[in-house]
Structure 1
Amino acid sequence: QQDKQCTDATGHAQTQQAMRLLKTIAMGQALSMLICGTAVSCQYLAEAGVETPMLQSFLNYVLLLLTYTASLSFRKGDGNILQILKTKWWRYLLMGLTDVEANYTVVKAYQFTTLTSIQLLDCFVIPVLMVLSWFFLKTRYRLVHFVAVAVCLLGVGAMVGADLLAGRDQGSTSDVLLGDGLVLVSAALYAVSNVCQEYTVKNLSRGEFLGMMGLFGTLISGIQLAILETSAVAAIKWNWKIIVLFAAYAFCMYALYSFMPLVVKMTSATAVNLSLLTADLFSLFCGIFLFYFVVS
């Protein structure tokens, strides 16, 4: 009887673990679809001549401010926004700055290179994230993980080389190289932001992280928007298509920010980014069928 109970308990635990894994995978693919949505809307805006990466990010941070930051204002005790700002304001300022610039550089890259190149090069976030997690979160990896990182880096090099060759044929090598460089910088900044996110949601709370991102992200992106993009925003020829694209980007980013901490808390930032690699495949199909890219 005791052996049967142990067997049943083991089977129940394995079932729960399998369900948890399936749930994590499903949520990861949902996040991949959201990333693909941001990529497609960015590409359409770039093709329409809209060059306002900071405005696009600003809309997302405002949505976070109106929901998560506002909810922090009504909390009592140590979870109140004033108490958080008294003790940790500088940490969230740095985190917000890193996150804002990561979003800015990747959206800016759409002016110089293609959707597929950006999504494929963005996998550079994984090796950087592994290094940061090793030192700051004390995460340990197996040999197979390092082999995968080596393959990832080889893929990044191959992608840059392919873009350079394509750019040389079209007479725009410098622009393509600048676009690829912006993506790699963005990936490194995203890795820093993701490590901070994992630490915060696992040791503090998801609401605090998103609330502070909303507050400092809105402030930083708002200032940068006023300095860099006033004329670009004024030059936008508004129509229903442009409005829908801005709304689609803001919705996808807001949903991505809202749900990603849940998946990170269940697994890790590295595991989430590995599951997000399918966004590259989704974006590749979109590039081929929506934008008629020729894949070499």
Structure 2
Amino acid sequence: MEEAAAAVGALPPATTAAAAAAAGAEPSVGAAGSSPRRLLALLGAKLCTWHIWKTIVLGQMLSMFICGTAITSQYLAEKYQVNTPMLQSFINYFLLLLVYTTMLVFRTGSDNLWQILKQRWWKYIIVGLADVEANYMIVKAYQYTTLTSVQLLDCFGIPLMMALSWFILRARYRLIHFVAVGICLLGVGTMVGADILSGRQEGEGSDVVIGDVLVLLAASLYAISNVSEEYIVKNLSRVEFLGMVGLYGTIISGLQLAIVEHKDIMKIQWNWKIALLFTAFALCMFGLYSFMPVVIKVTSATSVNLAILTSDLYSFFLGLFLFLYKFSGLYIVSFVIIMVGFTLYCSTPTQTAEPRALPQPSSAGLDNAALKLEENDGDTPAVAVQFSRGETVVVSTN
């Protein structure tokens, strides 16, 4: 051992780092040297991987879907005075019902729709209710508060999502994850500053307090829905999540639609342009819901929500041509900051805590206990140990 240690110590630093990398260990800063070039090379090698680029591309695809829903909704509201968020959501949930719930109906075994309803029906009611109301509240909030408040308060869902992931999914974060989230939130702050300078805050709203409360509630419900989605997608299946959300989302949004929006629907002056905008919104929303579980399975719910922070920027860039927004260089700066934070977050995977071992029973509780000790080694027989008063009987199961 001393000779081997001496031999390793005689190797140059680059060889030592290479040997550590080959053994599966990360080379230390000392092994890589203190040169800034080597540090940058290590950082570049860590960031420029297929997983990082795939995550970035997938996240920005989700942002484009959200951008499509925002642009079509704004066109309906500003050009045709159509404000029917629940009708638009109902169409999306109905499409999910037609596609994914139907797939569950024709499945066999424990993955069949009827078996899922027997085992987990009440859990999906909670998930469906959270998803439907989050979509409704965030759209409703724009009628009461400003765009600035919505953008800032909606970020409340990210730390809440991290907390839920910590306790429910047992995710464990490192310092770089908290730094990355802080950088992303700084990018959102820069974007809000650009909105104020360009005059996009659009007044102060009719009742700011109600609007802000709606945004906070929507962010909380989105956090619950997305963390539940991550758990279901990674432990059950994507089709099950989408099928059950489509089923309960259609029922809940349909009832709410009949109660709160039936008068607004009657006022719509239907034509092919309005129908086309509704269709475009439904397709973008359906694409978002269908594609998001794929991205969450590759990354996490928190990572996805950091990625879609850029959706407002895509909406702004399109609004430069469609709605004649005023341009500000701060939008470019905010986009770069958000992307840097998102890339840093994805550069280091989160850890999953092991479940705690159950405490061993005390000696007072062993009177009538039966313990079965199973060994993974095939050569060792399983043994059952039975405890009775005054004696111990050992019985081999083989």
User: TM-score surpassing 0.5?
Assistant: yes
Work out whether 1:28 is the aligned partner of 2:59.
yes
Q: Does 2:85 align with 1:44?
A: no
Structure with bigger strand share is: 2
What are the residue-to-residue correspondences of 1:64-213 with 2, within 5 Å?
64-112=96-144, 118=150, 121-149=153-181, 159=192, 170=203, 172-213=204-245
CA displacement, residues 249-295 of structure 1 (integer Å, 9 cap, x when unaligned): 11111000101101101111111111212212212323444223457
- Per-residue deviation at 1:112? 4.2
What is the percent sequence identity of the aligned residues?
60
**What residue number does 1:247 align with?**
279
Q: Give the secondary-structure state (helix, strand or coil) at the position aligned to 1:217.
A: helix
Secondary structure (helix, strand or coil) at the match of 1:22 reads: helix
Q: Which segment drifts farther, 129-138 or 96-105?
A: 129-138
Is the 8 Å Cα contact of residues 121 and 156 (structure 1) preserved in structure 2?
Answer: no
- What runs of 5+ residues in structure 2 fail to find an aligned partner? 1-17, 26-44, 329-398
Structure 1's 64 and 241: CA in aligned 2 closer, same or farther, altered over 3 A?
Answer: same
Aligned match of 1:270: 302
Distance 1:295 1:268 in 2: 33
Provide Cα deviations, 1:227-262, integer angstroms capped at 9, x if missing partner: 111111111111222111111111111000101101
Instruction: Describe the SS at the equivalent of 2:172.
Output: coil
Partners in 1 of 2:297 and 2:234 — Cα distance?
A: 6
Query: Are the aligned partners of 2:146 and 2:201 in contact in 1 as well (CA < 8 Å)?
Result: no
TM-aligned CA distance change 1:117 to 1:242, over 3 Å: farther
Matched-pair contact (CA < 8 Å) for 1:122–1:187: yes
- 2:68 aligned counterpart, secondary structure: helix
Structure 1 pair 117–289 and aligned structure 2 pair: CA distance change class (3 A): farther
Distance of aligned partners of 1:111 and 1:237 in 2 relative to their CA distance in 1, 3 Å threshold: farther
Range 185-194 or range 55-64, more displaced: 185-194
Distance in structure 1 (CA, Å) of the matches to 2:146 and 2:202:
15
| Structure with higher helix content | 1
Q: Secondary structure at the match of 1:137?
A: coil
RMSD (CA atoms): 3.3
Residues 127, 228 of structure 2: 8 Å contact kept: yes
CA separation of 1:288/1:37 partners in 2, compared to 1, >3 Å: closer, same or farther? same
The answer (yes or no) to whether the contact 2:147–2:201 under 8 Å persists in 1 is: no
CA drift of 1:124 comes to: 3.0
Question: In structure 1, what is the Cα distance between the partners aligned to 2:215 and 2:266?
Answer: 26
- Alpha-carbon offset, residue 50 of structure 1: 1.1
Any conservation in 2 of the 1:167–1:176 contact (CA below 8 Å)? no
1:33 maps to a residue whose letter is: M
Distance 1:167 1:119 in 2: 12
Q: Cα 1:153–1:178, aligned 2, differ >3 Å: closer, same or farther?
A: farther
Rate the CA distance shift 1:283–1:168 in 2: closer, same or farther, 3 A. closer
| Preserved CA contact (<8 Å) 1:100 1:220 | yes
DSSP 3-state at the match of 2:155: helix
The letter for the 1-side match of 2:154 is D
Amino acid at match of 2:157: V
Cα distance in structure 2, aligned partners of 1:227 and 1:293: 36
Q: Deviations over 1:171-212 (max 9, x none)?
A: x44345544443332222111100000000000000100000
Q: Which blocks of at least 5 consecutive residues in structure 1 are unaligned?
A: none
Q: What is the CA–CA distance in structure 2 between the aligned matches of 1:157 and 1:21, rounded to whole Å?
A: 25
Output the TM-score relative to the length of structure 2.
0.63
Partner SS state of residue 126, structure 1: helix
Larger CA Rg, structure 1 vs 2: 2
With over 3 angstroms needed to count, the CA separation of the structure-2 counterparts of 1:175 and 1:44, relative to structure 1, is farther
CA–CA distance in structure 2, aligned partners of residues 34 and 243 of structure 1: 19
- Following superposition, the deviation at residue 156 of structure 1 comes to 7.3
Q: 1:214 to 1:72 in 2, by over 3 A?
A: same
Q: Distance in 2 between matches of 1:242 and 1:96?
A: 28
Q: After the TM superposition, which of the residue ranges 129-138 and 81-90 deviates more from structure 2?
A: 129-138
Residues of 2 paired with 1:253 and 1:113: CA distance? Answer: 24
